[in-house]
Structure 1
Amino acid sequence: MGLFSIFKKSETLPPLTDDEAARLAANSEAERQSQQARQREIARATAMKIDAIESAMAADIFNLPEPAWGSQRPARPPRAAGNDAFDAIATTLLLGDDALPLAVADAATPVVEEIAILYANGQCAVAEQMLSDAVAATAGLNSDRTPWWMLFDLYQVSGQQDAFDSLSIDYASTFETSPPPWNAPAALATASPGWAGLTPTAALSGVLDQHIAPQLERLRQQAASSPVLRLEFSRVSAVDADGCALLLDTLRQLQASQRELILVGAPALATLLRDGIATGRREGGDAPWLLLLELLQLQQREKEFEHTAMDYCVTFEVSPPSFTPPQQVAMAPVQNIAASSDRFMLPPVIEHQLGPLLPAIQQYAEQYPALVFDCSRLTRIDYASALQLHSVLQALAAQGEGRKIALRDVNHLVTALLRLLGYASLARIYPHKY
């Protein structure tokens, strides 16, 4: 027998037992899972390193000081000292108890200014496409929001609610904050598209009771000569049935007379009314319920209206009112302005020069030392008219030392144009807040 024959392997191996086969399979599966786990750990570590690098790069890019809007133009000269008494009065008039944010110097680019000019001159389709491209280029980046706000305003002005809702989803994802609410512009009454002037206002405050009757009666009388009326509820602190009935009757009369209504603080008043009622409780009568339903309808909150109507039906065992979408009602943000009734409201569109708007502004300026222009209805002003208005305001500002001028509730499309034309050097611009 040769030496190697001693160690010669047998031609066939004995078959594995069931236990041995099971152990071998288990070891193979464990090894495979271990290998996959190691690969996942390596992938996660690599991704974390990449994220860290990108975060550092983003911080370097986006934490740089933003250049001022229109930095190529000279800065606004410092305000002269020595007018402390007038400043205090004007601040109370224009800013109220707490100052709203001014139109700040966003990181504007030439494309934003170009879009503002295109929109001002009526090329809305081109402006919309350029804004969509600008928004798409910044999607996912926590960058300048100006194009987003301009596009939101364009969708609202043109009544494109579906596009607005789609943009809202992208906005919430990009900036991790709530998107602006949809506020459709009021359908203008036939007599009011070109109307401008002092807005009759009833600013209700304190307890909403029978003592509001003189204010509401005065507003109804002013409605005979003004197609646009303003009601403010932001300072109402309590309600009773008599006051609710009076206000409800006034709201219905004004709508029946085809007057355009601007409501301030309607959501807060609706909340106050809701807190004072309960399903099945009839104390206080049905006036608070009906006023709540009216306010929900005016705000176009249809789902909440339907739920409240069913509760009203159960409580008073009567048929609930049906929802009818309002046609000539607009909501305005709460602003703490002492003389809110002295606001000069601008028309929805200003184009082809100022025309009859010019003498109306001059007459307003003769009566008031501080000028507050309400731009809540202003959707667009063309380039030539904006230049002319700038010259008019510049002349008015020069008539009295330290004269204050403010433009409030300006949409962001118009704001971009006003800043481009240098309005910030002679007036305070307050865009509506998003």
Structure 2
Amino acid sequence: PLQQVDVDAADQLAGLMRQWAPQPIDMRWLAPEHLLGALQEAAPTGVRDADPAFWMARLEALRLSNRPDQFDETAIDYCVTYEVSPPSWERARCQVRASNASASTSTPSMSMVSEVSSSFLDTGMLDDGQPQQQLATVELSGQLAGDISGTLSQLDRKLGASTLVHVSCARLIRVDFIAAGDLLNWVLSKQTENRSITFIEAHRLVALFFGAMGINEHARVQVPRD
């Protein structure tokens, strides 16, 4: 089995896989875990001296083999290691069949536009006569990818005069780096409006990504309890 990959091979392999991605070809990979393991061993998380070519080859292999969750986890590790943004997930057109899987790894179609819904709690009075803060609850779902200014504008129209904003992420599948940057800027703009933002029911990977992007420094991020 494959045990080691050198830098030149990793660089050329990443380039080759980028060429394969948009092509309507069908491939069969035998024991791809050996390749992924060798690439990970060559560039562990947190080791900045390791050549980024190993990371690029690993990310491309995960993309071609249709593993978006592992791709995002690896992308976060890359971000933490080098403090730069890695490539965003893009659906590959080619199909890869792994030796240990009977089904194709062709990526299913996924919506690139998030849904937005909202609900409001009526403003009331506390026992001591002080008014409660108005709470707006909105939802993000599906995928957030690329420029999401339109989606964020929809959120803004739902907020009204609320000073507390809960953003439900229960149905949010993933967020790419461009969208996360837009979301961070949105959170910062809400801070200037004296609004408090809390992302609720965020899946673990989404919460980790928010942390890597610094969103959790300006908003609360809550994950579901086990």
User: Into which bin does the TM-score normalised by the smaller protein fall?
Assistant: 0.3 to 0.5
Q: Which of the pair has more CA radius of gyration? A: 1
TM-score (norm 1): 0.25
More strand by share: 2
Greater relative contact order: 1 or 2 (C-alpha under 8 angstroms, separation 6 or more)? Answer: 1
